[in-house]
A and B are shown apart, each in its own frame.
Chain A
Amino acid sequence: MSSQVQPAKWERLFWPVLGTGVLLVLWYYSVRWSGTKVFPSPRDVERGLAELLRHQVLWGDIVDSLRRVAIGYGLAALIGVPLGLTLGWYPAANQVVNPTIQILRPISPIAWIPVAIIFFGVGDKAAIFLIFLGAFFPVVVAGINGVRNVPSVYRRAGRNFGLTPPQLLGRVLFPAALPQILVGLRIALGIAWLVVVAAEMIAVDSGLGFLVIDSRNSGKRYDLVVAAILLIGVIGLILDVAFRRLEKLRSVRWGFRAES
């Protein structure tokens, strides 16, 4: 619910452009007015971005970050979804494992860095491990809740048609829980993206996160810092939007009836 007047179609483009424009102008003028020599103005960032693109290094960094996310997140999904489904299906098992999950979950993946370094040394594998940790818990929790929230009607109907427990899991519970699992997967992807950037600032020497830190450390290139930050935001947004398209598939769309 929001204020009554329905915006016209042209307004759909007008307001976002206006909002962004105003912000850019504010940014530009606050940089000028504050006389800072270090913080970049929008034009500086634009030029910095062009420079990064020209130097080809940028693509390598983007690919590195995405690659780490792909592996860490992929593993988290591959292991987490079946695990979540199983735990949701056997509440007894869930009860047993739950305290452990509840204690491990609030620990920032970054806090695991020293442990990760012991096991994997400094580098890619450590970063992937951290991403895995970050994505794992939301996926499992989504799986558990997804199964738990399947209305008992579906379960009963499945049993009525003579399905064995494994068939019930595959043909009824999994599709019924899928919308919620997808939401969990989408959130986990967002988290994976956050973690990869953070991990790269600390534990590896390539990728977008590293770019942010490196641009500052080697020459106080804040224009590159901000350019990299914005890039991180844009790519993260693209990942999120792409995932949301999955949620529009017809065999899943039913679970997202009340979209706000």
Chain B
Amino acid sequence: MPQTQAAIRPAALKTKLAMDRVSMVFERDGKRTEVLNNISLDVGDGEFVCLLGPSGCGKSTLLNAMAGFLAPTGGAITVDGEVVRKPDPRRIFVFQERGVFPWLTVEGNIGFGLAKLSKGEREQRIAHYVKMVGLQGFEKAYPEELSGGMKQRVEVARALAVNPDMLLLDEPFGALDSITRLTMRGELLRIWEAERKTIIFVTHDIDEAVQLADRVVVLSARPATIQQTVNIDIAHPRDMSSPRYLELRDGIFKQIGLAHRI
């Protein structure tokens, strides 16, 4: 059953990231745009949370604030108790597209954050993550030679290679075709189950959210507030035809107010 508005923290996990009454107001040419309104949310360590909402609702803004690229105009975001002030390698952001550096090879990209390691260690790590995302054989390739799905794999590998505490993914599969998207979702879950990082995943795709997340946070249109929080209590691998899946998914459909027939 969908949960109500209040921030629910799964009791078993300690809090990794806490958002306390976060608001964001943009001022441009004298016009004030309220993008985020009073968002409070706790994310547990190792949890997979999806932020779901229509395009333009501000979920990317929220994610950017969590990463430290933007400062909230109101409220505070803390990670492990510390206030988030600037970007940090412990919270790596995965972009929707073009986040991969085109002037570096696959190896170069994945090794980007590993400058502080010794050569041997770096090579080892790179090889490990190349294998993990399934890009063996493409180590020396440049991004322009890769497909969209492969580029996203590089980006995820690059993010994981620095062993961050959290991954923040901003509609990472949005630019891919729907078949690749399904494959990539499976890959992401596989990686998550291997490494158990805290993941916050932004999407506008309801199915994607229900397939991936432990918890789906549904945001309203701008100014964004938390409309609904849904605990997805189905174990992986999730059957997309199971009644429970459909029940949860349809619940969200209804909450957002979308028509069920086309």
Contacts and interface: CB of A to CB of B under 8 A. Distances in A.
Tell whether any CB of A sits under 8 Å from a CB of B in the complex.
Answer: yes
A252 B103 contact: yes
B24 to A, nearest CB: 17
Interface in B77-108: 86-89, 91-93, 95, 98-99, 101-104
Contact of A254 (B67, B92, B103, B162): B103
B138 interface: no
Question: On chain B, which size bracket covers the interface?
Answer: 20 to 34
Contact of B113 (A154, A156, A161): A161
A162 B113 contact: yes
Interface of A: 151, 153-154, 156-157, 159-162, 171-172, 175-176, 178, 250-255, 257
B50 to A, nearest CB: 21
A156 B87 contact: yes
Contacts of B69: 156, 159-160
Contacts of B113: 161-162
Given A161-B113, A161-B162, A175 B89 contact: no
Most buried by B among A151, A153, A161, A172: A161
Contacts of A160: 67, 69, 87-89, 91-93
Nearest to B142: A250
Interface in B49-83: 67, 69
For the complex, would chain A's binding face be called helix, strand, loop or mixed by DSSP majority?
Answer: helix
Contacts, number: 56
A151 B103 CA distance: 13
B144 A151 contact: no
Given A161-B112, A161-B113, A162-B113, A254 B144 contact: yes
A175 B143 CA distance: 14
Contacts of B87: 156, 159-160, 162
Given A161-B112, A178-B103, 13 more contacts: A153-B95, A154-B99, A154-B101, A156-B95, A160-B69, A160-B87, A161-B89, A162-B113, A172-B101, A175-B101, A176-B101, A252-B103, A255-B102
Contacts of A154: 99, 101
B93 A156 contact: yes
27 contacts: A154-B99, A156-B69, A156-B93, A156-B95, A157-B93, A157-B95, A157-B99, A157-B101, A159-B87, A160-B87, A160-B88, A160-B91, A161-B89, A161-B112, A161-B162, A162-B87, A162-B89, A171-B112, A172-B101, A175-B101, A250-B142, A251-B103, A251-B142, A253-B144, A254-B142, A254-B144, A255-B102
A159 B113 CA distance: 11
> Top 5 nearest A-B pairs by Cβ distance?
A254-B102, A161-B113, A175-B103, A162-B89, A159-B87
Nearest to A160: B87
A174 to B, nearest CB: 9
Nearest to B92: A160
B60 to A, nearest CB: 12
Nearest to A159: B87
B70 to A, nearest CB: 10
A159 B87 CA distance: 6
A259 B207 CA distance: 40
Contacts of B144: 253-254, 257
Contacts of A255: 102
Interface centre among A176, A250, A255 (most CB of B within 10 A): A250
B217 to A, nearest CB: 23
B143 A153 contact: no
A172 B99 CA distance: 12
Nearest to A152: B69
A253 B103 CA distance: 8
A171 B93 CA distance: 18
A253 B142 CA distance: 10
Nearest to A251: B103
Contacts of B89: 160-162
B30 to A, nearest CB: 21
B103 A176 contact: yes
Nearest to A161: B113
Contacts of B95: 153, 156-157
B165 to A, nearest CB: 13
B169 to A, nearest CB: 13
A251 B141 CA distance: 11
B200 to A, nearest CB: 14
A255 B162 CA distance: 27
B61 to A, nearest CB: 13
A164 B102 CA distance: 21
Contacts of A172: 101
Nearest to A156: B69
